[in-house]
Amino acid sequence: MAKNNISISASITSTKYFDIKNTIDVINKSLVDRIHFDVMDGVFVPNITYGPDFISSIRNFSKKFFDVHLMLYNPYPYIENFVNAGADLISVHVEAKNTFKSIKLIKSLGKKAGVVINPDTNVKKVLPYLDFVDEVLVMSVNPGFGGQKFIPKVIDKIQKLIDSIKKYNHKILIQVDGGINFDNAKILIDMGVDSLVVGSFLFNQTNFNQAVLTFKNL
Ligand code: DX5
Ligand code: ZN
């Protein structure tokens, strides 16, 4: 059994199910804790996905926790739209513009805020945000696409982050995103990571809920 109660955030951009309604039904019936939305602007990352209207159209169909990952060069002007769309947690990159301003706005609108760090960014860059965020999202692939391979060097960074967070008496969750499968999940769970974003690996399983259960029992 897992030492901690790992949370699973299904990255719906990687769905292989016939349509989005079908995908949401599968997720709703499963033990998945969160739905992970990858918002990409074609500037901060070399890919484009969707905006707040898409998230808002799904909000009435699921009671799951909405985990919104903004891969936007300048997220600040759009924060309110994502809050109104029904986001429970909004995460913005340390490498983007107006990160502090965006986090303060997210918190002032009553939502959880996360800070995201890319694989090549030094862990020191997130430390100034720890007093202000609920979560740190550690990228284990370069953002932009699902289905990439987990980059093992991030494990070192996660350990440093766990050590730094221990110095704080308030709880900051750590979520890891990119290339997650049963093997690397086991390592991350044992380290004390709180939540895992799983995309293609999960949606490629024949039994979706059984796979979620396997993650939770690693
Ligand atoms: C990458 C995204 C990830 C990705 C996860 O830009 O932030 O959330 O969709 O998908 P997998 O699990 O396929 O790497
Ligand atoms: Zn993501």
For residue range 113-171, what is the model confidence (pLDDT) as tens digits?
A: 999 999 999 999 999 999 999 999 999 999 999 999 999 999 999 999 999 998 876 78
Distance of CA 142 from the midpoint of ligand 2 (Å): 10
* Stretch 61-79: mean pLDDT: 98
Residue 2 included in any domain: no
Distance of CA 95 from the midpoint of ligand 2 (Å): 15
> Which of the listed residues 8, 12, 13 should we mutate to test ligand 1's pocket, taking the one with most ligand atoms within 8 A of CB?
13
34-56 pLDDT, tens digit each: 999 999 999 999 999 999 999 99
Least Cα distance to 30 among 57, 52, 62 occurs for 62
Residue 1 included in any domain: no
pLDDT value of position 197: 98
pTM over 0.85? The answer is yes
List, in sequence order, every beta strand (DSSP E) within 79-134: 89-93, 112-117
Closest residue by CA, ligand 1 atom 9: 146
Judge residue 171's burial from the number of C-beta atoms within 10 Å of its C-beta, 0-12 exposed, 13-18 middle, 19 or more buried. exposed
Number of CB atoms found within 10 A of residue 77's CB:
11
Residue 101 included in any domain: yes
Least Cα distance to 86 among 112, 66, 100 occurs for 66
Residue 51 included in any domain: yes
Asked if pLDDT for residue 18 goes beyond 80, the answer is: no
CATH assignment at residue 93:
3.20.20.70
Residue 149 included in any domain: yes
pLDDT value of position 1: 44
The tally of domains found in the chain comes to 1
Give the number of whichever ligand sits closest to the CA of residue 8. 1
Residue 64 included in any domain: yes
Nearest atom in ligand 1 to 200's CA: 13
Residue 13 belongs to domain spanning: 7-216
Residue 196 included in any domain: yes
Q: What is the mean pLDDT of the chain?
A: 95
Closest residue by CA, ligand 1 atom 1: 143
